Amino acid sequence: MTSFAELVLFLVVLSDFAVLAMSRLSACIRAIALQGLLLGVLPLVVHSTLSAHAVVLGVGTAAIKAVILPAFLRWAIREAAVRREVEPLIGYMASMLWGAAALVIAFAVAAVLPLHSVETDLLVPVALVTVMIGLIVLITRSKAITQVVGYLMMENGIYLFGLTQSQRVPFLVEIGVLLDVFVGVFIMGIVVFQINREFDSLSASRLTELHD
Amino acid sequence: MTLFLIGLALVLAGGVSAVATRRGDGRRGDVLYQALVAGGCVAAAVDPARVLAGRPAVTLAVRATTPGGDWVLGIDALSAVFLVAVLGVSALCAVFGTHDLRREAADHHDGVRRPTWFAQLSFAVLVVAIALVVAARSVVVFLGAWEVMAIGSYVLIVTHHEVADVRRAGLIYLVATHTATLALFVMFSTWQVGASDWTFAALGAASPSLSAGARLAILLLALFAFGFKAGLVPLHFWLPPAHAAAPSHVSALMSGVVIKTGIYGLLRVLLMLGGAPAWWGWLVLGIGATSGVLGVLWALAQHDTKRLLAYHSVENIGIILMGIGVGVLGVAHGAPAIALLGFAGGLLHTVNHALFKSLLFLGAGAVYRATGTRNMEELGGLARRMPWTWAGFIIGAAAIIGVPPFNGFVSEWLVYQGLFAAGQSSELLRLALLGIPALALIGALALACFTKVAGVVFLGTARSARAAGAEEAGRGAIAAMLLLAGTCVVLGSLPPLGLALVTGAARALAGTSVVVPEAVVSSAWTISLLALVTAGLVSVLWAVRTAALRRRIVRYEPTWGCGYDAVTPRMQYTASSFASSILGMFGRLSGARVEKTALALHTHSVDLVLDGVALPMWSAMHRVALRMRALQHGGGRLHFYLLSILGALLALLAYLVVGPRP
Amino acid sequence: MLLIALILLPALAAALAYAAPDAARAAILVGTAAVHLVLVLMTWAAPGQQALGGWLADDDLGRMILTLVSVIFLAVAHYAVCYRREENPRGGRAFASCMLGFLAAATVVTTSHHFALLWIGLETTTLAVAPLIYHRHDRRSLEAVWKYLVVSSVGIAFALLGVFLLATAQPSGATGGRPLVLDDLLAHAGALDAVWLRAAFVFMLIGFGTKMGLAPLHLWKPDTYGEAPSLVGALMAGALTSCAFLGLARVVSICYMAQQGAFVRPPLIGFGILSIAIAAAFILGQGDIKRLLAYSSVEHMGLLVLGLGLGGVGAYGAVLHAVNNGLAKAMIFLVVGNVVLATGTSAADEIRGVFRRLPGSGALLVVGLFAVTGSPPFGMFISEFAIINGAVGEHHPWVAAIVVALLAIIFVGIGAMILEMVYGERAPADTNAGGSDERTRLVVAPALLAVLVLGLGVYLPTRLIGALAGAAATLGGRAP
Amino acid sequence: MTESPTIGAVVALAALLIGAPLVPGLAARAKAIATGRRGPPVWQLYADLWRLARRGIVYSTTTTWVFRLAPPVLVATTIAAASLLPLDGRGSVLRFAGDAVGFAYLFALGRFVLVLAALDTGSSFEGMGASRDVTFAMLVEPGLFVALAALGITAHDFSLTAMLGGTAARPAAGVVTPALVMVALSLFALSLAECARVPVDDPTTHLELTMVHEVMVLDHSGPDLAMLLYANALKLAVFAAIIVGVLLPVPRRGGVMGVGSLLAGLIAMGIAIGLVESAMARLRLPKVPLYIAGGSALALFGLILLLR
């Protein structure tokens, strides 16, 4: 059982690095949708007993993270007539290096944080990696839409952590969904306020008028 | 104690009445204001006077609602000395101030119709704050009154806030006092560690158990904070601009009384600590001597009457500190007799300085009101046009120099005796003898400075149309000045009165075992005899002179110009030429800068500490801050904001991994 | 039961305000604020109530911050009603409901003893405030909102991660008590897993620190406060930061109970001093009055966290400082709002002679200067004095010395700017010369707050002293 | 109250007051003889005083009451200062603890009023004189106080009667130690500066620009001028009395011998000044501070010797 869970976790890390490496926007969205699907599968796998709550949780997560949000993103790209390619600030190679560094840090920190309640000890480091790479994507990508993707990845990382405690704390993981409200707000902001056209390019780096 | 509080309430009522009667014509409102403030001061002065007359100290504890124990007020011998000076000078300054503001409002030659009620209200609040500072016996009340005093003085300093220099002077003043307050924060905190709560009694009880480090910190912080307030060199830089910018009755109050709260603070800390080590005494004595000499030297270099008087405050604070230094050394070396002389000299000079310095400032204020300028080079020949102001000013000048029949001599005489007594002892204390020539140098320089001011401003012929057209100050103003002058003469010719005033407090500081030696008391009476003898001789000689002239012809001619008869007022010795020979000797230290061009010679004075150290340091801090900001901010880009969060996260994670695991 | 009413009242009012016609909206806003304050004062009468099975509870610290939020909200509501009459509002509908939404969320944060509920409340406040910042609908406020939302959402995400870690640290079953409930966490602090608790503290410090605006997480603050209308700035600087501080204080109290003080104190003291230092650097020579107040808020957040980290009398000072800072910040933001409304600009060197033109606001600005910089007659003095007292008492004399030096620099920076604005002649640029165009209605709210700040310097009601001592005790401190 | 002054003290004071004008006369006479001239009679100053006392007065129009009050105050303060000294070696007319300070500050009062009178006339010459006089006074005062402190240390009391009187607790009664000689020399040098005699100022010069003290009294005439000249002579006599008190080896018990030694002191001082004037010309103005500093250094050296 645990080997399958570790396989899924491995795939999640793979999807993280995929988002880092992709140059085309639609590819990134497909990667994040895949990650959402993987997360949907995990609750069924990670705990030994198969409870109804885990099933509902898995299906719900898969629905939101794999289907609804990616569709919402694609609709936003069409609505805001966004140019297709991703403009990274520091280049793909550098992003990958940062990702690797995040991986090392995550495993170092995870070593300090032993977890007993869940069989696989891979879950904590993977969660940490996902959170950090999400933040890195948020920092290094200049396009607002890509930043939203980065934020989604951070959320997935936190959701992973939530899984470890899903048995004990009844609706802990469901709170994670509330983070998606932010994502919604961002996307609506991009579409409604035409963040793209407003700053005559989607890249958030143009927002530099306010400083000392 | 209740009468004291009633008195303060009356003063506040005076301030409020000024607000109430601001609509009507000024006369009624002013009379009411003066009556209430002066009456309040007199009523409040009754309790301190009783304590000075030997009654035991009184305290009043109010159940406080703020943390840190009760609010306690108290009047003991030390507070009484300061309270009497504070309330006396405040009453007279209020009277002078009202007349001065009334005349300023009448002719408002600077074209700005300024409501007088605001100045009167803040003056009343200031007086109450000073009285509370001196009577406070718990930290919260002390610091509260201290800052209200600072804010009250600031608000009064910037009365003429349309002038840029006034605003700048106000800001420098405010920064100085606030830094002093923050230093007091740390001082009281280090002191309060062992104490049960924040009252002075608890602090006093906790002081024996203070660690050496804490005691060192308290002494240094007290000297820094109270020194900043008192204006000793090098922390004096805020004093001249502030006193020059303030209206004259406010600068009289500030110079006479507000900077004395610094001295009071030092003595209160000494009393609570129960004595200080010898090195601190040497430090205070050294700073006192430097402040004295440099203060009067820089005063010589000034052309502005009020800046000159402000620098003189620095000099007199120096003399007071020399007295306190001798006192501390006496206690440290176990010689209470020496300590008594030192503390008595310091305290009496504090009271004397409060009297003659406020008199001189009121005189300078009257001159400013009459001529509209403070620049000495434009004045001259005012003695003839303003005889009463001249009489007050000359008595103040003689008193500040310390010549016998006036009160300045008595306190300097005590300090001299303290220094000499210290010089006679066997151990290291003998070096204090070197204080005597320093004090003599200060006295001589003061003589030079005040002959310059009196001569250039009041004597000779008017150097400008403004000086020629000056009229005498108002009746109320003259009354205030002459009352102060009278007190100076009385205290000068009756030294035992002054001695009795400060003996209680001096014995409290020097150790209550010692009593004023009989020789000193009898000498005090002999000094009044000497004053009498001198006055008698002068009147006898005056009679001889008038008798000799009865049958002789007395002619009045223009001054002998060695044959040259087209003498113009411009040919008279001016302030800068009079002082140039002395300043030349001290070179750049004197702060006088001379610019010679082909056509003209211009001298101006520079404050070595303010222009040399404080402002350059401040602009350097500005540059560092600007450079750090540009480096750190990343030009407002969102990515940089998020990067800083990532940075913080990584730092904390590292801390989590390697940090302590309790 | 009272607690639930406290939350539902503003929530319902928010919905109602959205639907109600324009005229009624002002009445609903101020009315709800007033009723809310009355209810809060009733909680003072009967302390220690519980609701929702212990998830909502009323303890000393929470009650004080709730009272602070309620008072500030009433003042800001009254000010907003008058302010909107001066400036013709566009889309006022969202304004009132968002403000009431904010009040409801803030009440949730202050009363909840369940960390997840507290987190939800905090997230709702962020979302409620966003439209308020975007009130002027121009390019600069859009940039401000976008930056605010992105940074805050990252902060909120980390806070949630912290909650999850806290849940992991709590042993399940009888030994751990109800998951994530503050009272049980405090009761069974010994049984908590130390490593996970420390990790939870780290992430919550980052999360709540970003919401509070602690350096180096503060960079969004100047832009947001600089662009948002002043009354929103008052609401955020006064109420929102205090709620974030409350969250952090809860976690710190758990850490102290679990004897993790040695781990927790250094970062808190480090962040505190760093915040004050960065605030000092950015206040020197600052050009814009609102950005200056933002940095002043960063400075005071630094002082709060420093007090929390020092413990002893410092903790007591920190709690009192939270209350004083909230009131003083709200007051000075509203007064600056008046000045900016009258002069039309927030650049300091274009504002002169405020005393001549707006006597009431000018006087309050000077009062604000002395209140914000902790000068004695005002409440801030006692709390700052307690914090420095704590620093020295807990054997950190060098911390006290550094903090005092930085406070002196900050005083000069703020003093130079405000005094230069207040005094002097009118700047030639401003057009409407003539008498003062002071709108007395706009001065009432800040004046009341000023009276409160001065009052707290002179008189602390006995109940408040009791609550302060109780709160300080939970945070590992004691009354002076 | 203070014990009543002894008859001897009053007689000695009277002798000093009467004998004072002799000193400048003797100085002029000694200088003349030293340079091979007959010189004016010794009692010349008495004649001048009598002549001036019977003259009318010309007052400048710009002067106020300060100008008229200056001469009487100057004479009065000098007499009061003299009353503090133990002229007959036993007791002084007036005595109080630390009266050395009173002595110095009485001179300061006199100088204060005189300088103000000079500035009152509004003439640039008098202003110049006032400025120079005040500058040199600033240098003399510290030196004078060092000398008085040194004397005080020997007598273990800061009052002049103890320092200079016969009862001075010298190491061996009357023995003059090298330190005391140095103090006496410095007092002599400082008195020349204080009373505007040759090395610092030339009383006989007519060129106003070179004068110091003389130019300050330029505008005085008649009885006022008489009083000023008398005051200057009296100050010289006072310094002579001090130097006698310091240098006289044999302890003086008052009475005829006391007054005799005082008069001998006056004569010796006059002759000494005359000899100095014949030997030296007036110093250049920038050199004067060095001269006074030299005098003060002598006193300081004496003090350090005593302090050791």
Residues of chain B with pLDDT under 70: 24-26, 68, 108-115, 631-636
Q: Which residues from A are below 8 Å from B636, CB to CB?
A: 207-212
Spatial contact of C65 and C246, defined as CB atoms under 8 Å apart: yes
Min Cα–Cα distance to chain A from C182, Å: 15
Measured distance CA(D44)–CA(D29) in Å, rounded = 10
Min Cα–Cα distance to chain B from C182, Å: 22
pLDDT of residue A200: 33
Measured distance CA(C51)–CA(C44) in Å, rounded = 16
Answer whether B398 sits within 8 Å of D109, measured CB to CB.
Answer: yes
Chain A residue whose CA is closest to B646: A135
Mean pLDDT of C17-33: 84
Among B residues 191-210, those touching chain C with beta carbons less than 8 Å apart: 192-193, 197-198
Q: Which candidate from B416, B430, B541 shows the least CB-CB separation from D72?
A: B541
Mean pLDDT of A128-136: 91
Min Cα–Cα distance to chain B from A139, Å: 5
Distance, CA of C411 to chain centre: 20
Length of chain B: 662
pLDDT of residue A207: 55
Q: Which of B179, B275, B210, B140 is nearest to C392 (CA)?
A: B210
- pLDDT surpassing 90 at residue C201: yes
- C-alpha pair distances (Å), C38 with each of C9, C16, C34, C45, D57: 12, 20, 6, 11, 92
CB half-sphere exposure, B125, CA atoms < 13 A? 23
pLDDT of residue B110: 53
CB atoms inside a 10 Å sphere around CB B255: 30
Q: Which of B117, B112, B105 is nearest to B23 (CA)?
A: B117
Boundary (domain end) residue, out of B525, B546, B567: B546
What's the structural domain count of chain B? 2
Domain ranges of chain A: 2-206
Q: For residue B219, give the 3-state DSSP assignment.
A: helix
Distance, CA of A165 to chain centre: 19
Strand partners, B601: B596
Whether residues B541 and B638 fall in one domain: no
Length of chain C: 480
Residues of chain D with pLDDT under 50: 1-2, 171-173
Whether residues B416 and B493 fall in one domain: yes
Mean pLDDT of C121-144: 85
Whether residues B303 and B393 fall in one domain: yes
Q: Which residues from C are below 8 Å from B210, CB to CB?
A: none
Q: Which candidate from B140, B179, B661 shows the least CB-CB separation from C382?
A: B140
Is any Cβ of chain C less than 8 angstroms from the Cβ of B140? yes
Mean pLDDT of C274-285: 89
Min Cα–Cα distance to chain C from B496, Å: 41
At D173, list the tokens: 């009664």
Q: Which of B226, B419, B261 is nearest to B339 (CA)?
A: B419
- For chain D, the maximum distance between any two Cα atoms, rounded to a whole number of angstroms, is 60
Instruction: Find which of B445, B459, B527, B542 to mutate to test the D interface (most D CBs within 10 Å of its CB).
Output: B459
Instruction: Find which of A109, A207, A208, A209 to mutate to test the C interface (most C CBs within 10 Å of its CB).
Output: A207
Q: How confident is the model at residue C344 (pLDDT cuts 50, 70, 90)?
A: confident
Instruction: Tell which phi-psi region holds residue D89, choosing left (phi > 0), alpha (psi between -120 and 50) or beta.
Output: left
- pLDDT surpassing 80 at residue A196: no
Boundary (domain end) residue, out of B546, B564, B584: B546
Q: How confident is the model at residue A120 (pLDDT cuts 50, 70, 90)?
A: low
Whether residues B307 and B429 fall in one domain: yes
Mean pLDDT of C418-433: 68
Domain encompassing residue B376: 276-546
Q: Residue B562 corresponds to which amino acid?
A: C
pLDDT of residue D3: 55
pLDDT of residue B334: 84
Answer whether C161 sits within 8 Å of A161, measured CB to CB.
Answer: yes
Q: How confident is the model at residue C34 (pLDDT cuts 50, 70, 90)?
A: very high
Work out the angle between the directed axes of helices B407-424 and B387-401 (0-180°, nearest 10): 10
B182 in a domain, yes or no? no
pTM of the model: 0.87
B59 in a domain, yes or no? no
Answer whether A179 sits within 8 Å of C149, measured CB to CB.
Answer: no
Mean pLDDT of C44-70: 86
Answer whether C195 sits within 8 Å of A114, measured CB to CB.
Answer: yes
- pLDDT surpassing 50 at residue C183: yes
Residue with the larger pLDDT of the pair C442 and B310: B310
B177 in a domain, yes or no? no
Answer whether D120 sits within 8 Å of B455, measured CB to CB.
Answer: yes
Min Cα–Cα distance to chain B from A151, Å: 12
Whether residues B612 and B528 fall in one domain: no
D58 — phi, psi (to 5°)? -110, 115
Residue with the larger pLDDT of the pair C82 and A173: C82
Min Cα–Cα distance to chain C from A210, Å: 6
Q: How confident is the model at residue A180 (pLDDT cuts 50, 70, 90)?
A: confident
Spatial contact of C112 and C469, defined as CB atoms under 8 Å apart: no
Residue with the larger pLDDT of the pair A151 and C480: A151
- pLDDT surpassing 70 at residue C430: no
Min Cα–Cα distance to chain B from C215, Å: 9
Q: For residue B71, give the 3-state DSSP assignment.
A: strand
Spatial contact of A195 and A155, defined as CB atoms under 8 Å apart: no
- pLDDT surpassing 50 at residue A197: no
pLDDT of residue B394: 93
Among B residues 396-425, those touching chain D with beta carbons less than 8 Å apart: 398, 401-405, 409, 412-413, 416-417, 420, 423-424
Q: Which candidate from B633, B639, B657 shows the least CB-CB separation from A89?
A: B639
Whether residues B474 and B619 fall in one domain: no
pLDDT of residue A205: 46
- pLDDT surpassing 60 at residue C431: no
Residue C123 CB contacts under 8 Å (≥ 6 apart), including other chains = A178, A181, A182, C156
Sign of the Cα pseudo-torsion (C220, C222, C228, C231, in order): positive
At C273, list the tokens: 């001093």
Is any Cβ of chain B less than 8 angstroms from the Cβ of C473? no
For residue C391, the surrounding DSSP H or E stretch is helix C379-393
Whether residues B453 and B366 fall in one domain: yes
Angle at the Cα of B75 from the Cα atoms of B71 and B79, rounded to 5 degrees = 110
pLDDT of residue C88: 58
Question: Locate tokens 């009257």: which residue?
Answer: B366
Q: How confident is the model at residue C7 (pLDDT cuts 50, 70, 90)?
A: confident
Length of chain D: 308
Answer whether A210 sits within 8 Å of B636, measured CB to CB.
Answer: yes
Instruction: Find which of B627, B629, B639 to mutate to test the A interface (most A CBs within 10 Å of its CB).
Output: B639
Measured distance CA(D105)–CA(D28) in Å, rounded = 30
Instruction: Find which of A129, A161, A183 to mutate to test the C interface (most C CBs within 10 Å of its CB).
Output: A161
B101 in a domain, yes or no? no
- pLDDT surpassing 60 at residue A198: no
**Cis bond upstream, residue C89 (ω within 30):** no
Boundary (domain end) residue, out of B495, B511, B546: B546
pLDDT of residue D7: 80
Instruction: Report CA dihedral (D213, D219, D225, D228) to the nearest 10 degrees.
Output: -30
Is any Cβ of chain D less than 8 angstroms from the Cβ of B521? no
Distance, CA of D67 to chain centre: 22
Measured distance CA(A65)–CA(A40) in Å, rounded = 8
Q: How confident is the model at residue A203 (pLDDT cuts 50, 70, 90)?
A: very low
- Tell me if there are at least 3 CB pairs under 8 Å linking chains D and A: no
Strand partners, B604: B593
pLDDT (tens digit, 9 = 90+) per residue, B546-569? Answer: 888 887 888 888 877 777 777 777
Measured distance CA(A13)–CA(A129) in Å, rounded = 7
Considering chain A, what is the average pLDDT of its residues? 79
Considering chain B, what is the average pLDDT of its residues? 87
Q: How confident is the model at residue C72 (pLDDT cuts 50, 70, 90)?
A: very high
Mean pLDDT of A51-61: 82
pLDDT (tens digit, 9 = 90+) per residue, C354-373? Answer: 887 888 888 899 889 989 98
